[in-house]
Amino acid sequence: MAAPADPYRVALVAFPGIRAFDVAVITEVWGTDRTDRGAPAFDLRRVAADTTAVMMRGGLALHPDRPLDWLAEADLVVVPGLDDHLTPAPAPVLRALRRAHERGTTVAALCGGAFTLAQAGLLDGRRAITHWRLLDLLRTHHPRVRVVPDALFLEDDNIWTAAGTAAGIDLCLHLVRLAHGAEAAATIARSMVTAPFRTGTQAQFIEHPTPQADRDADALAGVREHALRHLDEPLTVADLAARAGMSPRSFARHFTAATGTTPLRWLLDQRVAAAQKLLERTDLPMPEVARRAGFGSEVTMRQHFAARLATSPRAYRAAFTGGSNPIAR
């Protein structure tokens, strides 16, 4: 897929108190030129209320290169998390975020960045997620936010929030996937040596308290690998359970504990991801795409695309061969 003529413009919103880790994630995803590997061209700018260096923990400094009014030119606005989650953002930043959302610009926050969006009033009456240890704090200080306890990332009214640390990477890659397709996200993920596809509906806190639980998780990794190699076959949860040597009920329990999602949801998500890649890379007819992705029929594939991506396979192919974003928000 050819890169768009104009770079995709991303604004990193900077102010004192933002986390260096989240700044690094945003910069790694959108601030590294990977066009020689087929990735899209990005224009990442560090946007702040003034040109003063923004100091971060560990002696690091971020030097803004655009004023807040550059948000009017951005395709995406990303707010890093905070070292102190109750840090008040400057009033001009909050006003600029509200104006960006009013213009229809996609706004995203990583980890404790949800508190900044809540300060701006953008999460009032909307669903949001943050790090699992901060959920009660967000509820207490922003009671109008509909806090969701179990997700890696989620969207409400074109506003995205993510859980802690690694979930910020997941959200950034997901936003690349929405705007530029599964292959672009996979290219960036390979460069970062990270998983290219974790769904936002997975639980954010997965604990293996015993050696036996770790052994179960390792055993199920082999089952997932087998499933990914045989997505074109009519796999069922019962088939995967039998391969793991477990009853379907026991398999579902161990699978959810290891991955944060159910076997059926995981399998369907992988089929949708496989279909996305086929639609981007090939001109195969829809029934063949459905067969290779394991849906069995074009009708079934269309139903799952609508449920997960809010678009149809045909619209998805047309958009990504034409360079536009098929996800209606």
Q: Give residue-wise pLDDT tens across range 111-168.
A: 999 999 999 999 999 999 999 899 999 999 999 999 998 888 999 999 999 998 788 9
Q: Which domain holds residue 224?
A: 211-259
Q: In angstroms, rounded to a whole number, what is the distance separating the alpha carbons of residues 299 and 108?
A: 33
- For the residues 253-260, what does the mean pLDDT come to? 82
Is this prediction's pTM over 0.85? no
**Residue of 33 and 199 predicted with greater confidence:** 33
pLDDT of residue 68: 97
Residues 179 and 58 grouped into a single domain? yes
Do residues 255 and 280 share a domain?
no
Reported confidence tier of residue 5, pLDDT bands at 50, 70, 90? low
Name the residue among 14, 46, 51 with its Cα closest to residue 30: 46
| CA 234/CA 80 separation, integer angstroms | 42
137 and 50 both lie in a single domain = yes
Q: Are the CB atoms for 158 and 173 separated by under 8 Å?
A: no
| Helix/strand/coil for 329 | coil
Shared domain for 39 and 188, answered yes or no, is yes
Nearest of 313, 323, 317 to residue 281 by alpha carbon: 317
Across residues 182-195, what is the average pLDDT? 84
166 and 237 assigned to the same domain: no
Q: Return d(Cα 313, Cα 273) in angstroms, integer.
A: 11
Report percent pLDDT > 70 for the chain: 88
**CB-based contacts of 244: which residues, under 8 Å, 6+ apart?**
219, 220, 223, 251, 254
Residue 34 and residue 91 in one domain: yes
Which amino acid is it at 87? Answer: T
Count structural domains, the chain.
Answer: 3
Same domain, 28 and 138: yes
20, pLDDT greater than 70:
yes
Do 103 and 181 lie in one domain? The reply is yes
- Distance in angstroms (rounded) separating the CA atoms of residues 215 and 29: 33
